Structure 1
Amino acid sequence: MKATGKVVLITGAARRVGAAIARQLAAEGCQLALHYKRSAAEAEALVQDLRMQYGTEAFLIAGDLSEAETPARLIDAAIEHFGRLDGLVNNASLYAPAPFGEITSGDWAAMEAVHLRAPLFLTQAAAPHLRKSGGAVVNIGDIHAEIPLRGYLPYSVTKAGLLALTRALAKELGPEIRVNSVSPGVVLWAEDKDPPDGDQQGLIERNALKRVGSPQDIAGAVAYLLFDAPYVTGHNLVVDGGRMLY
């Protein structure tokens, strides 16, 4: 398999879509550096499961991506452990409402730090190693980068910035490094929150495939862009069941 023995760092890997990406890449033979912020128990359980099920060499790195020194520290830790880096998946994300009249500078700064600053500086720190390996970067965006979500302005705008960053990095880092993004539609309901733009059935009806996707749909797209798309860069792969058609 093309991915066998490749080393990939995934941010926000302990749960939900991040954990699905880790499982997909482990199944394809990757070695994994898995970042988490607070979900230590879930992260430890994931690593144990990957080792038991796939024999994956995986290790954990805790860190707050809003802190300026964290991106370089994560890359350094991955290189110290594995000696190489073949892929970077910028998956960590913040998702929270911010009604327009109530947006604070803190709301904006938190979203900008995780969705823009961290992916930029993670990629900057990873670039020398990815050049050596001919590696790739995949950023996890959102369809609301292109269809802003009412009441979620900082989230939508910073995800749009991540899409622009993806394209800019593809120009900056080619031809040695490919940079792409994946924009999910509805694949998981937000925890302890109602859907922000209608009930669950309403969201499903505004979807060409009339169903919710799964984290595995996103994980498969990430694996494709990392290892099976050698002539694809600067691309945003939308995985939304046709949601953007409505």
Structure 2
Amino acid sequence: MRLGERVIVVTGAASGIGAACVAQAVAEGARVVQVDVHPCPEVPGQTIAVVGDVSAPDTWAEVLSRGRDELGRINGLVSNAYISDVRPAHEMTPASWQRQLDVNLSAAFLGFRTLHDDLAAGDGSVVLISSVHALAGIPGHAAYAASKGALVALARQLGVEYGGQIRVNSVLPGPILTAAWDRYGPEDLKRSAQATAIGRLGEPDEVARAVTFLLSAEASYVTAASLVVDGGWSAMKDSA
């Protein structure tokens, strides 16, 4: 098992990519601290759940305390929680802008800072879930794209700064079929699928497999890197 004896923290764990990361980590032998504003089911002896706001330092204090006490030293972090307020930039309130940066970006810093000592004690690996919005502009996503672009830079910076102590990488998912797509109709999904080289939307498990690789010893020489998981979306163009 690639993650045997490891303790991994996953934020945004109640659904979508986060839930897929939890399921795969458990299947690969890890014990997991699930963090979300919504309750997460627990598997006795394998997972615990912390209900809280990832942008709040108190939530991270609980993650560290309960994780250590109930599962053991934490040596992995998947920062996946996010929010998105889709609207033109000039219509976005400063409060909404700040809230998206707090949850999407600052929470990753808080998690890394809080868990640093455990991560640095051996085999520490961090994966920040960014997005292809870090690579290409899509109208209505100013704060979301800014936060996701910053996560790529943060992963690169932390990977360099902490060298052999803690590996830090980012994953950039493309159009992945999660509940976030529920507000779109069949034609929207078809158009998005056609915008990928593979010709379909991705599944959360396909992102989780990339995350599992980066957490594992298989990626022992990979740090400060960005892994795009988008079915070729970011490489596709309709015309020259």
Report the counterpart of residue 194 of structure 1 in structure 2.
184
The 2-side partners of 1:224 and 1:125 are apart by 24
Whether the 8 Å contact between 1:12 and 1:93 is mirrored in structure 2 is: yes
Report the counterpart of residue 234 of structure 2 in structure 1.
244
Instruction: Within 5 Å, give how 1:139-218 maps onto structure 2.
Output: 139-189=128-178, 190-194=180-184, 199-218=188-207
Report the counterpart of residue 30 of structure 2 in structure 1.
30
Secondary structure class of the residue paired with 1:150: coil
CA deviation string 1:193-238 (max 9, x = no partner):
227xx82211111111011110000100000000020000011100
Give RMSD over aligned pairs.
1.6
Report the counterpart of residue 67 of structure 2 in structure 1.
78
The 2-side partners of 1:171 and 1:76 are apart by 28
Report the counterpart of residue 112 of structure 2 in structure 1.
123
Secondary structure class of the residue paired with 1:171: helix
TM-score w.r.t. the length of structure 2 is 0.92
CA shift, 1:69, in A, is 2.9
CA shift, 1:191, in A, is 4.5
TM-score w.r.t. the length of structure 1 is 0.90
Identify unmatched segments of 5+ residues in structure 1. none
CA shift, 1:67, in A, is 2.4
Correspondence 1:15 to 2:15: yes
The one-letter code of the counterpart of 2:11 is T
Correspondence 1:233 to 2:209: no
Q: Which moved more, 1:80-89 or 1:229-238?
A: 80-89
Whether the 8 Å contact between 2:36 and 2:54 is mirrored in structure 1 is: no
Correspondence 1:93 to 2:90: no
Secondary structure class of the residue paired with 1:168: helix
The 1-side partners of 2:113 and 2:90 are apart by 35
Whether the 8 Å contact between 2:7 and 2:72 is mirrored in structure 1 is: no
The one-letter code of the counterpart of 1:9 is V
CA deviation string 1:67-116 (max 9, x = no partner):
24323332232122223012011011112302122111111111111111
Whether the 8 Å contact between 2:156 and 2:169 is mirrored in structure 1 is: yes
1:113 to 87, 94, 102: 102
The one-letter code of the counterpart of 1:7 is V
Task: Name the % identity.
Answer: 34
Q: Give the number of equivalent residue pairs.
A: 233
